[in-house]
Structure 1
């Protein structure tokens, strides 16, 4: 499969050949759903916490004698039914992460890339570089390419000027190729890949 390559100025820069095993698959929604769920659960903090009856600050003294009061039997005021008492079966810190085989995660990334190709939502540029860290100038180039909500994947390192100029533009995200992930690919409107990113992805899945 061949994809057209353009520059940031919108000029043609030839073609690049990509592998059908990475960019030409028929997208499977079930695999993409499993991967997105895996990512969302993994990044969930799980720091919610309430105090149990052994953790609240309360006296351990019995409220009143066991018999003869005409009332129910009670122990101390840390019991859950009293105001200020501990929470019964409250949340405790724990990880929400689930397991997903490495092969499935790799397959999900291939299907996400293929889904963007199928939707014609992929733009290939020769390089992601800027002479100056000027947001206004970079925004004009993005508008020329028709990019309003995009994820830009660079090479192993992001050009400093390009990264600084792009970080102030709403709905534009820039990641090195190591940070590419299914959730961000599916969330973005247009996926922008540099030639260096494509080479790295081809080598990764070779």
Structure 2
């Protein structure tokens, strides 16, 4: 069973966290990864490029010169494709670029990337990721304390939105914050290190390991947190 080190906000190793074998310990499927990444990038295209044919270009109703006697090829309109300002032949028209990928393939691609991150020690678990006030300097100090090299791209995934963390990170070009429900293959591959909390790991294991929906996983994590607090008080 794969495991990783859990760090605190000071960058100190505090414990080992066991990870789900079926989520963080699978063999990466490169063919599925390629197909999912291609589909995700294609789906970002708007398909708004448009050109005008000779029937859509304004003007050109008058015959440019008489039919015979000029020694030139006969022409009926200056908006024909061979004239400057004329229409375009076989130019692009607005159309959708959507490429659908089965849900199982998308989830397999996510598991493949996460497993690769664990294998390459690029997954960093922090016991908590929160800030009292939004301050970029504090976030930079935190990133330097964690085992992620300076200048590398870091993606921080939160189980719930923390405005202070978001505001502290938005001016750091090499760092990005997103909610775990927005997890996708392209963002995982774009960043060298992934920073998560144990709650984020638990959410991912529930969704991509046990097959729960995002809403069900969020509710279950909330129930588990409430139960843990109750038992600690008792």
Instruction: Tell me if both proteins adopt one fold, taking TM over 0.5 as the criterion.
Output: yes
SS in 2 for 1:14: strand
Contact kept in structure 2, 1:8 and 1:142, CA below 8 Å: no
**In the alignment, which residue of structure 1 is the partner of 2:186?**
183
Partners of 2:125 and 2:58 in 1: how far apart?
Answer: 62
CA distance in 2, matches of 1:139, 1:120: 21
Which segments of 5 or more consecutive residues in structure 1 lack a partner in the other structure?
none
Map 1:106-117 to 2 at 5 A.
Answer: 106-117=107-118
Partner residue in 2 for 1:164:
167
2:196 corresponds to which residue?
Answer: 193
Aligned to 1:62: 63
1:152 aligns with 2:163: no
Could you say which residue in structure 2 is the equivalent of 1:98?
99
| Alpha-carbon distance between aligned partners in 1 of 2:190 and 2:74, rounded to the nearest angstrom | 57
Measured in 2, the distance between the counterparts of 1:113 and 1:47 equals 34
Q: CA deviation at 1:176?
A: 0.4
User: TM-score, normalization: structure 1?
Assistant: 0.93
Q: Deviations over 1:54-99 (max 9, x none)?
A: 2211132222333343221211111110011111111112222222
Aligned residues: CA RMSD: 1.5
SS of the counterpart of 1:123?
Answer: strand
Correspondences of 1:77-96 after superposition (within 5 Å)? 77-96=78-97
Query: 1:3 — aligned with what?
Result: 4
Please say if residues 113 and 189 of structure 2, whose CA atoms lie closer than 8 Å, have aligned partners that are also in contact.
yes
- Length-normalised TM-score, structure 2: 0.83
Q: State how far apart, in whole Å, the 2-side matches of 1:45 and 1:8 are.
A: 41
Aligned length: 205
- CA distance in 2 between counterparts of 1:192 and 1:179 reads 14
Q: In structure 2, how many angstroms separate the alpha carbons of the residues matched to 1:145 and 1:88?
A: 57
CA distance in structure 2 between the partners assigned to 1:118 and 1:12 by the alignment? 18
Partner of 2:205: 202
> Once superposed, which parts of structure 1, at least 4 consecutive aligned residues long, lie more than 4 Å away?
none
